């Protein structure tokens, strides 16, 4: 699995001009899955993301987690995280998971994030979505369970 995390002051996802999910301060997660991704990898990412200390404490140090600050999550599926650009100018997406498996992984990931007590808004798997965000910091962190 791959997750690109951005700390945001606000974010939203729209489909056909209608806002489908939106959050205030927290994380925007762009989520990609492969065919070999498992529940164990989901558990690892949920634990890392829910405990990641990238919010500032009273001393201005990145020392607080999303739970500590009452933040929210906007999770958006994004198969293009598995783009391969080694050859030519048109990316290949053969590394992205089969849509049926990837959708199940994405749903399980969001359910497990919500089970930690976090508020989780989502996009719609496979939809043409427009994502708006205000990156806070900026803070952007890459997770890859294969690395």
Q: Could you give the 3-state DSSP secondary structure of residue 86? A: coil
Angle at 51 between CA 49 and CA 52, to 5 degrees: 65
User: For residue 25, what is the DSSP state?
Assistant: S
Q: Give residues with Cβ within 8 angstroms of 135, minimum separation 6.
A: 6, 7, 8
Choose the catalytic residue: 80, 119, 122, 140: 80
State yes or no: is 122 an active-site residue.
Answer: no
Contact yes or no for 126/10 (Cβ under 8 A): no
* Burial readout 94-121 (b: 16 or more C-beta within 10 A, e: otherwise): eebbeeeebeebbebbbebbbeeebebb
- Residues annotated as catalytic are 80
């Amino acid at each position: 699995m791959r997750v690109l995390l951005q700390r945001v002051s606000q974010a939203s996802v729209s489909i056909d001009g209608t806002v489908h999910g939106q959050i205030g301060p927290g994380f925007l997660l762009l989520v990609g899955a492969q065919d070999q991704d498992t529940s164990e990898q989901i558990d690892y990412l949920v634990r890392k993301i829910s405990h990641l200390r990238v919010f500032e404490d009273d001393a201005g140090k990145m020392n607080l987690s999303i739970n500590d600050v009452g933040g929210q999550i906007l999770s958006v599926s994004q198969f293009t995280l598995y783009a391969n650009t080694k050859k030519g100018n048109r990316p290949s997406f053969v590394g992205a998971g089969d849509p049926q498996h990837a959708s199940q992984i994405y749903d399980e990931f969001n359910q497990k994030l919500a089970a930690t007590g976090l508020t989780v808004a989502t996009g719609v798997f496979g939809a043409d979505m427009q994502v708006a965000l205000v990156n806070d910091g900026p803070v952007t962190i890459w997770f890859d369970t294969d690395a």
